[in-house]
């Protein structure tokens, strides 16, 4: 019954990023999205996102592929489909974070420039 405990523990590393992701959301709800603290949290959030979500997901996918001969077909199929869904969700969330926190300022400058013309 304890065959995939290590895999599950590695999957919990994703929750480290959740701390900064939820703190970011609470700061936005408190209307302090323009503060220095928010900006610092955004950078830490993006860093932990790459380390603890993207890298962990990549490692888990690699492990699943390398160990496919030792995993029952049903578990491998469910794991592969789950990893594909999680990869897609994380890519979309990463893009949304980038767009909202970092690419937004360049978009606002373009809008202001268009209004001035």
Q: pLDDT tens digits for 79-114? A: 999 999 999 999 999 999 999 998 876 556 666 666
What does the pLDDT read at residue 5?
Answer: 84
Could you tell me if residue 31 is left (phi over 0), alpha (psi between -120 and 50 degrees) or otherwise beta?
left
- Residue range 38-62, pLDDT digits in tens: 999 999 999 999 999 999 999 999 9
Contacts of 23 (CB under 8 A, 6+ apart): 41, 45
Q: Which secondary-structure segment (H or E) carries 93?
A: helix 73-98
What does the pLDDT read at residue 26?
Answer: 95
Contacts of 48 (CB under 8 A, 6+ apart): 16, 17, 19, 20
What does the pLDDT read at residue 8?
Answer: 82
Contacts of 10 (CB under 8 A, 6+ apart): 56, 59, 60
The residue-averaged pLDDT of 55-82 equals 92
What does the pLDDT read at residue 15?
Answer: 92
Cut 0.85: pTM above it: no
- CA torsion sign for 13, 15, 16, 17 is positive
Residue 87 CA, chain-centre distance (Å), reads 9
Average model confidence (pLDDT) for the chain? Answer: 88
Are 48 and 20 contacting, i.e. CB atoms less than 8 angstroms apart? yes
Residue 35's SS3 state is: coil
> So where are the chain's domains?
3-116
């Amino acid at each position: 019954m304890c065959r995939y405990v290590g895999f599950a523990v590695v999957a919990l590393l994703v929750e480290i990023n959740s701390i900064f992701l939820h703190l970011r959301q609470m700061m936005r709800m408190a209307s302090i999205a323009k503060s220095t603290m928010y900006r610092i949290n955004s950078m830490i959030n993006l860093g932990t996102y790459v380390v603890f979500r993207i890298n962990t997901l990549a490692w888990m996918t690699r492990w699943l592929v390398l160990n496919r001969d030792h995993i029952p077909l049903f578990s491998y199929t469910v794991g592969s489909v789950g990893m594909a869904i999680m990869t897609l969700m994380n890519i979309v969330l990463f893009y949304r974070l980038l767009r909202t926190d970092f690419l937004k300022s360049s978009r606002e400058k373009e809008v202001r420039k268009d209004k001035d013309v």
